[in-house]
Amino acid sequence: MKVIYITQNKKAYHDYHVFDTYEAGIQLRGSEIKQIRHNKIVINDAYVNIENYQAYLLNADIQSVQNSNIFSHQAKRERKLLLHKNEILKLKMQKERKGFTIIPLKVYINNGLCKVQIALVKGKDKVDKRQALKEKDQKDHLQRILTRSKSL
């Protein structure tokens, strides 16, 4: 199994508490997969919406081809996610609870197929964000001290 990571939503773990993650296929048009392979995708502002028992990725920006023709794609169009019906129902029930949303975490190529890792998340408060940054700084400081002591 050859997995090639294309992009990830780096601010997701800073801004949200991540609860469940799912792997979903994504329905793409011809020129979109080429742009994804060239790392021309941005998922920082993207989110997942569920309607009529179908999951859709919204606001994901896949840049269109510069020498475009009539077959090129729109940069921010609605893209269908390929999930099992029971996963969609579970996500829909959990999303209806107060404060939960679904966002993409990573986009990658797995055995030639484009996959999106999506997560059920809940927004963090400012206090939670500060606490997470403080813990990360302390961890980094400890790591620096340990590496310095090993080199001496």
User: What pLDDT is attached to residue 120?
Assistant: 93
Tokens at residue 123, please? 């927004």
Tokens at residue 94, please? 């959990």
Per residue in 9-28, pLDDT tens? 988 888 888 999 999 999 98
**Fold for the domain defined by 3-123:** Small Protein B; Chain: A; (2.40.280)
Tokens at residue 76, please? 């921010």
SS (H, E, C) 48-76: EEEECCEEEEECCEECCCCCCCCCCCCCC
CA distance 121 to 97: 11
Q: What are the residue boundaries of the structural domains of the chain, listed by start?
A: 3-123
Residue 116, CB-side half-sphere exposure with 13 Å CA sphere: 29
Per residue in 60-82, pLDDT tens? 888 877 665 655 656 678 889 99
CA distance 59 to 55: 13
Per residue in 79-136, pLDDT tens? 899 999 999 999 999 988 887 999 999 999 998 899 999 999 998 887 777 888 888 8
CA distance 132 to 18: 13
Return the exposure string of 13-49: e unless at least 16 CB atoms fall within 10 Å of the residue's CB, then b.
Answer: eeebeeeeebebebebeebbbebbeeebbbbeebbbe
Q: Is 150 or 87 the better-scoring residue by pLDDT?
A: 87
Per residue in 29-49, pLDDT tens? 877 888 888 888 889 989 999
Q: Is a pLDDT exceeding 80 seen at residue 150?
A: no
Tokens at residue 145, please? 């001290």
Long-range Cβ pairs for the range 129-132 (8 Å, 24+) = 129/14, 129/15, 132/14
Tokens at residue 46, please? 């993207």
